[in-house]
Amino acid sequence: MPKDPTNQKPFLRALRGEIQERPCFWLMRQAGRYLPEYRETRAKANGFVDLCLRPDLATEITLQPLRRYHMDAAILFSDILMVPYGLGQPLSFREGEGPVLEPVRDAAAIDKLAQNLAGFDAKVAPIYETVSRVQAGLPATTALIGFAGAPWTVATYMVEGGTSKDFANVRLLAYRDEAAFKRLIDLLVAATIGYLNRQVEAGAEALQLFDTWAGVLPEGEYRKWVIAPAAKIVAGVRVKHPNVPIVFFPKGSGLLYREAAAIPGVNALGLDTSVPLAFAQELQKLKTVQGNLDPIALCAGGPALVDAATRILDALGKGPFVFNLGHGVIPPTPPANVAELAELIGKWRAKAA
């Protein structure tokens, strides 16, 4: 059970719309290859999937960045592709290549995966164990974020068989056999609702839904495959967990961020690096916003980092806001730059107008 039953942790309050004197922060991929202690722990596992399924190692990795920096939230160490794994789709991660999945390209393959839904929880059970262990080891004011990939983004990996440049196979399937593709999306919606509910029951205090490839869809497809599934997942989680704050990160949505902001039950919007701060201020009138420092500016450090971070704080720090990157920390980032950013955020205060 969470140690904070009254939900007083600063990060949870920020997601519920509270304006804070010192903005909260955490960083996507805050646990990862830029930290030498991550690389050391990762070497103890038999590959990346095994790492995600080892509660001892995944707990250690989740907590590593918190020992160096005072983030307001920890994010469960796992991966969005553990949902296809839980549905029985073979998954591996190759050094320098990223994820490799056996592609699912037709109705028969989708129906086969649907038959595995009943066995999903048993396959991913070690992840729920990690959530409980992390919750037990957290500093008192730090919140634990559980997460999942949104159906569209997860489907891109499932259909393409890995990372893609043009997303041609998945978009062709959605156009040519919409009924089959909708079955895949609906299967992912069902699996994801159960998966997120179980994370909350194990001790996650907030949830983030990652839709990394939302930005590749035209608006009609965006409504079908980004907005509608996210709305179903949020509503589905709310049935059992009416109060858990939910962040939606539909990366690259551009003006369609307005529609993402209108999804009932979404507490906060994750903004990517391309969102202009004036537009972010407009979105902030509807929801808490989270973002959107360029991860490359964090890697660069120095005056470029100070300037970019200060502009974001000055524009968004006076409203409901969580400081984050616009995408994940990149591996060559010097850990000292993260310390510098944490200090800058900690010292920043809204100036009287």
What residue ranges bind ligand CP3 (CB under 6 A)? 28-33, 42, 48, 75, 77, 79-81, 93, 98-99, 147, 149, 163, 210, 212, 327-328
Closest contact distance (angstroms) between CB of 93 and ligand CP3 is: 6
Residue at token pair 């250690």: 60
Closest contact distance (angstroms) between CB of 157 and ligand CP3 is: 7
- Which tokens sit at 128? 């729920």
Smaller CB distance to ligand CP3: residue 39 or 112? 39
Closest contact distance (angstroms) between CB of 98 and ligand CP3 is: 4
Smaller CB distance to ligand CP3: residue 60 or 79? 79
Q: Which of 189, 195, 202 is nearest to 235 (CA)?
A: 189
Smaller CB distance to ligand CP3: residue 12 or 150? 150
255: which DSSP letter? G
- Which tokens sit at 304? 């470029």
Smaller CB distance to ligand CP3: residue 246 or 315? 246
Closest contact distance (angstroms) between CB of 64 and ligand CP3 is: 10
The answer to whether residues 226 and 152 touch, using CB atoms and an 8 Å cutoff, is: yes
Query: With 0-12 CB in 10 A as exposed, 13-18 as middle and 19+ as buried, what is 136?
Result: exposed
Closest contact distance (angstroms) between CB of 97 and ligand CP3 is: 8
Query: How far apart, in whole angstroms, are the C-alpha atoms of residue 313 and residue 13?
Result: 18
Query: How far apart, in whole angstroms, are the C-alpha atoms of residue 17 and residue 233?
Result: 21
The answer to whether residues 183 and 111 touch, using CB atoms and an 8 Å cutoff, is: yes
The answer to whether residues 312 and 284 touch, using CB atoms and an 8 Å cutoff, is: no
Smaller CB distance to ligand CP3: residue 131 or 315? 131
Smaller CB distance to ligand CP3: residue 69 or 147? 147
Q: What residue ranges in 114-243 does DSSP mark as E strands?
A: 143-149, 206-211
The answer to whether residues 75 and 26 touch, using CB atoms and an 8 Å cutoff, is: yes
The answer to whether residues 221 and 213 touch, using CB atoms and an 8 Å cutoff, is: no
Query: How far apart, in whole angstroms, are the C-alpha atoms of residue 123 and residue 49?
Result: 12
Give catalytic residue positions: 29, 33, 42, 79, 157
- Residue 254's CB is within 10 A of a number of other CB atoms, namely 15
Closest contact distance (angstroms) between CB of 39 and ligand CP3 is: 8
The answer to whether residues 196 and 233 touch, using CB atoms and an 8 Å cutoff, is: yes
Smaller CB distance to ligand CP3: residue 208 or 288? 208
210 bridge partner residues? 149, 249
Query: How far apart, in whole angstroms, are the C-alpha atoms of residue 34 and residue 138?
Result: 22
Closest contact distance (angstroms) between CB of 186 and ligand CP3 is: 21
The answer to whether residues 105 and 173 touch, using CB atoms and an 8 Å cutoff, is: yes
